[in-house]
Amino acid sequence: MTARNPLSTLKSRLAAACAAAALLLAAGGAEAADLNALIWCDHSDPTLLEPFEKANDVKVNVKEFEGTGAGLAIVDQSQPGDWDVMVIDSIDVPRGVEKGLFEPLPEDKLPFADLFPEVKMDKSTVVDGKRYGITEKFGYNTIGFNKTKVDPADMQSLASLTSEKYKGKVAIYDYYLPVIGMAALAIGKKTADLTEADLPALKAELLKMKANAKLVGEVTASQTALATGEVDVLVGGGEWVTAGLAEENPALDFSIPKEGAVLWSQSLAMFKDSKNKDMALKFIQYIMSPEGQARLATSSCYWGMPANTKAALTDEQKKILRFDEQPGFLARAQAYPAPNADLDKKMQDMWTEMLQAQ
């Protein structure tokens, strides 16, 4: 047994006291038979949840979060068994496994054979031979643009993002990992091979992008900027920005430039301490079913490609998501940067420096 740091002990007891109080207020009407899901906003769409609730006579209680750190903090402040399933960045599944949170998934009960092979993400979702996450949705951090305002041919190269031609017409999506990934592609580096030695070159590229940009915005701000014509190009944008707006603004589009794009993917995981594992598995099976995949892909919060090739999308939806072009896109896409904790911190500090640059 190791002696605990007294600071840590006091901190954890205080945190536990605060968390207990918060849970009393927040957990409200949750019942044991309910399914409690920590999710991203695309899972809170009633058109996605209601068919599952009706079919299984269960209430799905959802709690939205942004960012793996914030999600894991909610789990830290909860009691074991409070949560049944979690949506998580595929590259962060090992963080949950390391904390002992997740239950291995039964591969034979899930449609792994139907997934796009490139998005299975075994490097992240399989730990010590056991699969802890299943990719449910994916897409690209690439170039989103208004095709009536820019030359679509320019959007086939990342060099356009830093060209004088588009100065002041560019927005940058405010999330450091994918945009650093795009900067890596722009300077000819593979996203999977990034090390600390690459940071100066990446920083120089980011500063060039910032100098050309009008704003750096989170999801809503960058989407609004592109949709209202404040900017014509979104660095880091993709189908997740343009597809949901296709009906009202068909001029919005995305490209996979010749240098490639960054592949993002989100996974579903089941909690080891879930008191409702059967229902949690049913929920994952529903989300991965052709119907669940179609509803998740076209969720009102944001659209994205379903991981299941058999998703029951309409022809129009497939066209908007450019479903048939996926094999080509996937072949050119590179992995989301997955730095270790130390490099991650350095990358975030580099991002802070870029944001503060005038």
Partner 1 sequence: MSVSGSNPRALPWALVTPALAWTLLFFVLPFIAMGFSSLTAHEGGGFTLANYSQFFADPSYWRAMVNSLEITAIVTVISILLAYPFAWILAEMVPERWQRLALMLAVLPFWTSYVVRSYSWLLVLAQNGVINRALTGIGLIAEPLQLANTRFATVTGFVHFFVMLLTLTIFANLKQLSPSYRKAAADLGAGPARTFLHVVLPLTLPGIMVGAFLTFVLCIGDYITPQILGGNNELVMPQLVMMQIGRRGDFPLASALSIILMAVVTIAYLACARWLKIERA
How far, CA to CA in Å, does 103 sit from each of 68, 84, 132, 265? 18, 10, 6, 20
Residues ≥6 apart with Cβ < 8 Å to 72: 95, 96, 99, 101
- The residue within the footprint of partner 1, chosen from 80, 229, 250, 328 (CB under 8 A), is 229
Task: Choose between 74 and 305: whose C-beta lies nearer to partner 1.
Answer: 74
- Number of C-beta neighbours around residue 324 at 10 A: 9
Query: Which range touches partner 1 (CB under 8 A), out of 106-114, 131-139, 168-176, 326-334?
Result: 168-176
How far, CA to CA in Å, does 96 sit from each of 74, 128, 224, 323? 12, 14, 33, 31
Q: Does 352 bind partner 1 (CB under 8 A)?
A: yes
Residues ≥6 apart with Cβ < 8 Å to 343: 194, 195, 196
Query: Which range touches partner 1 (CB under 8 A), out of 159-167, 173-181, 242-250, 278-286?
Result: 173-181
CB 101 within 8 A of CB 272: yes
CA angle 74, 80, 84 (to 5 degrees): 75
Distance of CA 269 to the CA centre of its chain: 14
Residue 237 CB, nearest distance to partner 1 (Å)? 15
Query: Which range touches partner 1 (CB under 8 A), out of 6-14, 106-114, 289-297, 311-319?
Result: 6-14
- The residue within the footprint of partner 1, chosen from 33, 47, 69, 319 (CB under 8 A), is 69
Query: Which range touches partner 1 (CB under 8 A), out of 28-36, 103-111, 141-149, 340-348?
Result: 340-348
Q: Does 224 bind partner 1 (CB under 8 A)?
A: yes
Task: Choose between 41 and 110: whose C-beta lies nearer to partner 1.
Answer: 41
- Number of C-beta neighbours around residue 257 at 10 A: 21
Query: Which range touches partner 1 (CB under 8 A), out of 26-34, 53-61, 200-208, 346-354?
Result: 346-354
> Rule CB under 8 A: which of 16-35 touch partner 1?
17-18, 21
CB 250 within 8 A of CB 129: no
> Rule CB under 8 A: which of 99-158 touch partner 1?
none
Residue 297 CB, nearest distance to partner 1 (Å)? 24
Task: Choose between 99 and 130: whose C-beta lies nearer to partner 1.
Answer: 99
Q: Does 228 bind partner 1 (CB under 8 A)?
A: yes
In sequence order, the β-bridge partners of residue 235 are 143, 172
Residue 168: both structure tokens together: 């002041």
Q: Does 53 bind partner 1 (CB under 8 A)?
A: no
Residue 58: both structure tokens together: 């269960």
Listed residue (112, 333, 145) closest to 239, CA to CA: 145
Hey, what amino acid is at 131? Answer: R
Residues ≥6 apart with Cβ < 8 Å to 314: none
- The residue within the footprint of partner 1, chosen from 151, 196, 218, 325 (CB under 8 A), is 218
Q: Does 98 bind partner 1 (CB under 8 A)?
A: no
Positions in the binding site for partner 1 (CB under 8 A): 5, 7-8, 10-11, 14-15, 17-18, 21, 66-70, 72-73, 168, 174-177, 214-218, 221, 224-225, 228-230, 341, 344-345, 348-349, 352-353, 355-356, 358
